[in-house]
A and B are shown apart, each in its own frame.
Chain A
Amino acid sequence: MSSTTTVTPEKTAEEQATWSGQSVPRKEDRRLLQGQGVFVDDVKRHGMGFVHFVRSPYAHAHIAAIDVSKAEAHPAVYGTLTGEEVAALTDPFFQIASVPGANVKDYALAVGKVRYVGEPIVAVVAETREAARDASELVEVEYEPLDAVTDARHAQDDGVPTIHEDAGGNLMWHGVYEWGDLDAAFNEADRVLTIDELHFHRFNSTPLECDGALVEYNRGTGQWTLYTNNQFPGFAAIMMGPAMRCGLDKLRFVTQDIGGGFGNKITSHPQLVACCLLARKLRRPIQWTEWRTDFHLSMSHGNERWFRETEVAVKNDGTLLGFRTKALDDAGAYLRYEPLGGVIWAQVTPGMYRWQNIRVDFTQVATNKAPVSPNRGYSRMQHLWFTERVIDIVAHELDLDPVEVRKRNYIKAEEMPYTTPNGCVYDSGDYAQMLDIALALIGDVGPRRADAEARGKLIGVGIGSTLDSGTNNFGQSRLINPELQFSGNNEVATVKLDIFGEIVVTLGTTPQGQGHETTAAQVVADILKCSVDDVHVRAGHDSYWNSHAGFSGTYASQFAVTGLSAVKGATEMLRDEIFKLAGAVFGGVPPEALELADGGIRIKDNPEAFLPFMACGAIINANNAGLPEDLGVTLNCRYVYRPPFQVPDVEKKYGNLTLTYAAQVHVAVIEVDPETGYYDIVDYAAVDDCGKRINPQIVEGQVMGATAQALGAAVHEVFEYDEDGNLLTPNFYDYHVPHALDMPPLKTGFVESPSPFTPLGTKGMGEGGGAGIHAVCAAVQDATGAIVTDSHNPYQRVWHLLQERP
């Protein structure tokens, strides 16, 4: 069953009267339920050519020769594109990394060398999808295979082949983070626990829709229009423009509906560049659909990370004083968004705990695997899994109750806002209360344990607590590369009143199911005192709308802060203009004498004097003769929300890296069959605190969805490679995601701790599901009595853990 607790702060009459805070049914749903959504593969153009990418069967090889003549000769083929052409027509993609990673040369297609199985080498365009694939089989590529680097832990060993000669080795980035006084902490410690190695596995969220695009080139204006499901056009443009040697306004990004993103659709820019070049070369629209196997082989794997030689300073009572660890990140074959993973984790450096003394020696290397890119919980999930593992290992070693160790070390509600050792400011929250609610949802496990043991089964209970930091300060990129000129963040919205009084909202975001049309309408309706049905929020994204800013997109848990704050700002501007206009129309009535009501504005003590929005729109847009010269009203308002950020201190690696800190605490109960290692999650609770909830149903939906992804990753999902660099899970057979029958009972609860730092008291959310991985690991450890050192625990591993039992 799925149940929701009633733990909720009292709502004031004022709150009850607002749209915000209500589970308003989504505006998006009708079209999606009727099959009328427009996803990228639904976009068709006359004469479009279908592109198929020839992909490398080798993980690492020199390309000795490429012959496309037979493919070009295929009657249905329009043309091809090779790496050589790409290298001539474009510059390598801009690298975020400082040296050595900065020296990596990354193009839209492989140039001279292939570096992972599935890497695109040649693009073939034909009249039909089938013909494009047929012809791609006629492309002859001569390879000189090289040994593959598949284990990041040995990527820098002597004699290991170099993947990027330009980088002079497989090291991509290295940095040391140290805050507090480690020596003092370790001197003060009663005990120092050492953990040789913890491993966070490689997986991603596998959105059901893969990547794709339909790209048109306007020869007259030199502009490309990309209908694509890329979820961060601002980033794609920054990557593509310089590479293609064109201004960013030459790249128009358009999307309506996106079939899930979860961060995995941020780095499709190489394929988009190939499509742009082909659209120009072949003088026709280019259609690209990525199939599931292509996606698994090549797109946006989550960061695989090791934590080695970890030392933890603790008091006998479980008080945590500090830790040291060496983090090793496997970036895969190219740095598409990396090495940002090398700093993003620092948003949550101490996890939810009062650790003051921390040293993380962070190394990122290249391997012959698919490039990693952001994946829901990007880089924080790996680090928070580490902190949760440490907590449970400490509890195990000191024979303390994991609940007690957490409560003893959690940052306390009264300490909020709390400044972490590296200068991040946790805005609000009561982690201990969240844990209590989660445990209450599960109730007494005793009877269940007795019943299971009577059947020869083992019960395990595990806690996973996690932070969902949102609204990036892009200045953190300077901790990776001081040369970078990024900082802060921004988002835009426009709100206007049309000639017939229609309220029209445009967003800069690229929603993938988060319900932006609905929540934006809720915010607007509250300010303009009208119904959400009176608010039309344009579907999707178009970078040619003036609601597009540099950081526009939907990623990193920020819409509820950046997007909705922009909507709020623009709507308040519109409201003030309506007051100004009405004041003038009523003959100089001051704003304080006016009020909004019933889809219009009226004089407070003379309700008869009423100006409906329709009249306001008509006057300004079509009947404006005689209005005062200095009225200054357009009823078309654009607002840019800019979070209050400073540039972090690059030397000390110190500063506030994100604006809000939503939190989740999960508790998992598993039943293990000791004979086989097979286990079921038999009870589960997830408690969320994302501050003010604009639409509780949407928030709960994010919590449940993220939890399902975490449970899939914890038990089944892994991108595993053999020693030759073949991906062993390239499809949904071997990469098993949760199906309906796999879902455990799911109980949800929530706390609302409004953020003091955001205009609406909201916090970004959606990425806290990683707690499910932490909770399952802890539950497996509890059931088996063996220390869990891997984030991925399929039946086989659990069976092995059981063999280790004392």
Chain B
Amino acid sequence: MLLREVGYVRPGSVAEALAALAADDGARALAGGQTLVNVMKARAGSPDVLVDLNGIDALKGIELGGDGTLEIGAMTTYSEIVASSEARARPILGEVCAQIADVQVRNRGTIGGNVCTNDPTNHLPPLLAAIGAEFTIQGADGSRTVSAADFFLGVYFTAVGPGELLTSVRIPAGRSDGFAAVTLGVDGTCIASAAASLNGHVRVALGCVDAVPVVLEPAAADADAVRAAVQGASLDPPSDVHASAAYRVHLAEVLAVRAVQQAQGSA
């Protein structure tokens, strides 16, 4: 509670938002606020100006392309993704978003905020990395699209630089996906997570074991191959009150196999 003093602007367009962000290097984009506001309560982070993106319609909504590609606006909430018929083109999206926290958080929290925060315990970074999502970032001098590998740089760090905005997430067509996690209570914070996608080739992304999702491409979808791939990744996750590094490494292996099995089942 009791935030430090902060400025507030509510732009109506991406251009205005970019201008506001560029105007002050202490400016931060405010999406759903389900993480940022809490960090500000603790006064652990203290932006000088909040650029509230909630008034920008261009950043909201889900489009399903003819080729099955999904274009999801960065300010689209988890609830909107869960409810969206278009989003069912990639069913895992709604399934995972429905597991994030609770109704209130899903009503405010956004896909853009989730990936830009890139807290290692977040659900979407490993999922989007596994299913080959691409991220469109807009800056003063135009926009660019980057892969997950180039997007996630570190805890609370992404390819979205100062004065830039993540505007949308593009998700290719596909169906054979899986997500498995051990959480702190049902629908709770992830202690370890793994997402898998079998569209064309086997791709697994591990959460909670590094600053960014750890993407693996096992030679095959059988349990041994997946285990081997995780073991080959020589993970060095942090220990915390919920899990030792060793336990996280073990969970990563088990969950990777389960995510792949789920992906096979959902094919």
Contact = CB atoms under 8 A, between A and B. Distances in A.
Chain A directly contacts chain B within the complex, with at least one CB pair under 8 Å: yes
Interface string B223-242: 00000000000000000111
B259 to A, nearest CB: 13
B182 A291 contact: no
Interface stretch (B18-26, B70-78, B211-219, B243-251): B243-251
A550 interface: no
Contacts of B244: 796
A676 B182 contact: yes
B182 A795 contact: yes
A741 B250 contact: no
B241 A734 contact: yes
Given A728-B240, A795-B191, A739 B185 contact: yes
B241 A716 contact: no
The residue among B182, B187, B244, B254 with the most chain A CB atoms within 10 A of its own CB is: B182
A673 to B, nearest CB: 9
A720 B241 contact: yes
Contact of A736 (B184, B247, B250, B251): B184
A130 B182 CA distance: 38
A676 B254 contact: yes
A130 B43 CA distance: 12
B2 A741 contact: no
Contacts of B251: 676
Nearest to B257: A675
Contacts of B254: 675-676
Interface in A772-806: 794-796, 799-800
A739 B186 CA distance: 8
A736 B188 contact: yes
A134 interface: yes
Nearest to A735: B241
B3 interface: yes
A676 B182 CA distance: 8
Contacts of A734: 184, 241-242
A130 B189 CA distance: 30
Given A676-B251, A734-B242, A796-B244, A742 B42 contact: no
A675 B254 CA distance: 7
Contact of B189 (A728, A733, A741, A799): A733
B247 A799 contact: yes
B182 A134 contact: no
Main secondary structure of the interface of B (DSSP, over half): loop
B141 interface: no
B115 to A, nearest CB: 19
Interface in B41-64: 42-43
A733 B44 CA distance: 16
B1 A794 contact: no
B5 interface: yes
B1 A129 contact: yes
Contacts of A800: 247
A778 to B, nearest CB: 22
Nearest to A715: B185
Contacts of B250: 676, 799
| Contact-residue size bin, chain B (C-beta under 8 Å from the other chain) | 20 to 34
B4 to A, nearest CB: 7
Nearest to A727: B241
Contact of B186 (A130, A133, A676, A742): A742
B167 to A, nearest CB: 29
B247 A134 contact: no
B236 to A, nearest CB: 18
Contacts of A134: 4-5
The residue among A137, A676, A729, A800 with the most chain B CB atoms within 10 A of its own CB is: A676
A741 B186 contact: yes
A133 B2 contact: yes
Interface in B131-183: 182
Given A129-B1, A291-B1, A795-B191, A716 B185 contact: yes
Nearest to A795: B182
A267 to B, nearest CB: 23
Nearest to B255: A676
B201 to A, nearest CB: 26
A720 B242 CA distance: 10
Contacts of A133: 2, 43
A646 interface: no
A295 to B, nearest CB: 13
Contacts of B189: 733, 736
B187 A794 contact: no
B42 A741 contact: no
A247 to B, nearest CB: 36
Interface in A90-141: 129-130, 133-134, 137
Given A129-B1, A133-B2, A676-B251, A738 B242 contact: no
Nearest to B254: A675
Contacts of B185: 716, 736, 738-739, 741-742
A150 to B, nearest CB: 14
Contacts of A531: none
Nearest to B241: A728
Given A675-B254, A676-B251, A676-B254, A741 B3 contact: no
Contacts of B5: 130, 134
A392 B128 CA distance: 47
Given A291-B1, A676-B254, A796 B186 contact: no
A36 B3 CA distance: 28
Interface string B198-221: 000000000000000000000000
Contact of B241 (A129, A675, A676, A729): A729
B261 to A, nearest CB: 12
A316 interface: no
B3 A130 contact: yes
Contacts of A130: 2-3, 5
Given A676-B182, A676-B254, A742-B185, A794 B2 contact: no
The residue among B2, B5, B184, B240 with the most chain A CB atoms within 10 A of its own CB is: B2
Contacts of A676: 182, 250-251, 254-255
A145 B5 CA distance: 31
A799 B4 CA distance: 43
Contact of A741 (B184, B187, B243, B255): B187
Contact of B42 (A129, A293, A795): A293
B242 A794 contact: yes
A678 interface: yes
Interface string A700-736: 0000000000000000101010000000110001101
A675 B223 CA distance: 14
A716 B188 CA distance: 11
Contacts of B1: 129, 291
A291 B186 CA distance: 25
A134 B186 CA distance: 37
B243 A796 contact: yes
A716 B184 contact: yes
A720 B243 CA distance: 13
Contact of A796 (B3, B4, B242): B242
A799 B247 CA distance: 8
B15 to A, nearest CB: 33
Interface in A279-297: 291, 293
B182 A678 contact: yes
A130 B254 CA distance: 47
A739 B185 CA distance: 8
Interface string A671-715: 000011010000000000000000000000000000000000000
Interface string A657-680: 000000000000000000110100
Contacts of A799: 247, 250
17 contacts: A129-B2, A130-B2, A137-B43, A676-B250, A676-B251, A716-B184, A728-B241, A733-B189, A734-B184, A736-B184, A738-B185, A739-B102, A739-B187, A741-B185, A742-B186, A796-B247, A799-B250
Given A720-B241, A739-B188, 6 more contacts: A129-B2, A133-B2, A716-B185, A734-B184, A734-B241, A736-B185
List the 7 closest A-B pairs by CB distance, nearest first: A741-B186, A728-B241, A133-B2, A736-B184, A675-B254, A796-B247, A742-B185
